[in-house]
Structure 1
Amino acid sequence: MIEEHIGKKGDIEITGTITGDFDTTSVADELRKLKDLLDEGALTKEEFEAQKKIVLRSRG
Structure 2
Amino acid sequence: MERFIYYNILYNIMREKFLKSVRKSGTSLAIHIPAEVVKLLKLKEGDVLRVEIEKAK
| Greater share of helix | 1
Superposition TM-score, scaled by structure 2 size = 0.29
Superposition TM-score, scaled by structure 1 size = 0.28
Higher relative contact order (CA 8 A, sep 6+): 1
The structure whose Rg is larger is 1
| Greater share of strand | 2
